[in-house]
Amino acid sequence: MTSGQSQKGGQGSQQMQVAGDYIVNVGVTEERAREIARETSREVVQQHTAEAMDLVVERIEKLDTRVVAVLGSQDRLSAFADPGFIRTFKKAQEGAAASERESDYAMLAALLAQRAEKPRDRPVRAGIERAIEIMDQVDDDALRGLTIVHALGQWIPRSTNISQGITTMENIFADLVDGPLPEGRDWIDHLDILDAVRVNSLTEFKPFDEYYPARFPGYVAPGVLKEEVPPAVGGSLESLPWDPFVEEHELRPGYVRLRAVAEHVFRETYVNGGMEDVWVDEIVAQGIATFGLGTIDENAKIALSSRLRSEPTIGSIADWWGRLPHHFNITAVGKALATANAFRLDETKRLPRQDDTPPPRKVGPDPEPAAPDH
């Protein structure tokens, strides 16, 4: 290649350059991905006895079908050209060969999708690989409990409407609670042994009514009386009216609050909607000063807690949360397991994936709310 030539290609592409002016990029097709999966599976199958081969082949084929389908739908089949991914993939095939649970194949596929999503993030990679190693040892009830604790701290709705936001989270948790929630402490010790959590027996989780409403700071902001709302944003936006950015406070009748579930979601929504950063900064600054965004109003918090507990699934989770015996921290391994399980159960795809953020586009001041975000 002469000094005047250059090449560019996507991850996993194969490139050929002829005479300096003919370049062909060849990615990994679905057919080639299946061939690679069959090649790696032969090595795994050979590790087992002749009597077990038929069952091993059947289980690995179930995994391979899921992985190719998932990565194909995400346009990440190029991961099959990454030697590091192939090593992880073989571990997943070994895990599938050893597991009789159908759900494990979906879990392993979801973990591999996370691995393909962040190929250069070593801490995430380490957690995923360890999660794959222990997949066939994780108890179903313990995994369910881990997933719920993780989800409570990971995802919130984007909807500015409180009723709609609560309904969104209720629907999500109704999918995630696919069986009984574990009681006692044995399930926590089980996860601790598997490196999915770190037990801290000296402390307790915050009460549900303190912890979860605080995850929605925009919903429980104090707001201002409707008749006292300034006509304009103010600051450097003296002529911009507040009307497009505020709504009635469902939890405080007669009050108005900024249309936000949280400051970072407000920023992302309007920046992704095409609004200038300096405008968003000014609106947020004035929203904090005028409507108390980021401040928790005690009456609004109590009202939100009551609304949340009235939901059948979230209400049962709140009661269960109060019976947790002691605090624990979720490790990178536990986060990988919980995220994979949540995505497995989230068949309607309400939960955001890594690439769900829409490209910037010019819109008015009132963009449509998106799916839940972390």
Hey, what amino acid is at 49?
Answer: T
Query: Which whole number is the average pLDDT over 147-162?
Result: 95
User: Considering the chain, what is the average pLDDT of its residues?
Assistant: 86
Q: Which of 374, 213, 225, 229 is nearest to 296 (CA)?
A: 213
Q: What is the pLDDT of residues 213-239, one digit of tens each?
A: 999 999 999 999 999 999 899 888 888
State the pLDDT confidence band at 141, using cuts at 50, 70 and 90: very high
Query: Which whole number is the average pLDDT over 147-161?
Result: 95
Beta bridge partners of 18: 22
Alpha carbon 39 to chain centroid distance?
32
Between CA 145 and CA 321 the distance in angstroms is: 10
pLDDT of residue 354: 61
Between CA 290 and CA 260 the distance in angstroms is: 14
pLDDT of residue 250: 96
pLDDT of residue 340: 93
Long-range contacts from 11-17, C-beta under 8 angstroms, 24+ separation: 11/78, 11/79, 11/81, 11/82, 11/119, 12/77, 12/78, 12/79, 12/80, 12/81, 12/82, 13/78, 13/81, 14/81
Q: What is the pLDDT of residues 31-83, one digit of tens each?
A: 999 999 999 998 888 888 888 888 989 999 999 999 999 999 889 999 999 99
Query: Which whole number is the average pLDDT over 205-218?
Result: 95
Q: Which of 228, 214, 220 is nearest to 249 (CA)?
A: 220
Query: Which whole number is the average pLDDT over 191-206?
Result: 92
Residue 177 scores a pLDDT above 80: yes
pTM over 0.85: no
Residue 362 scores a pLDDT above 80: no
Q: What is the pLDDT of residues 243-284, one digit of tens each?
A: 999 999 999 999 999 999 999 999 998 998 898 999 999 999
pLDDT of residue 371: 44
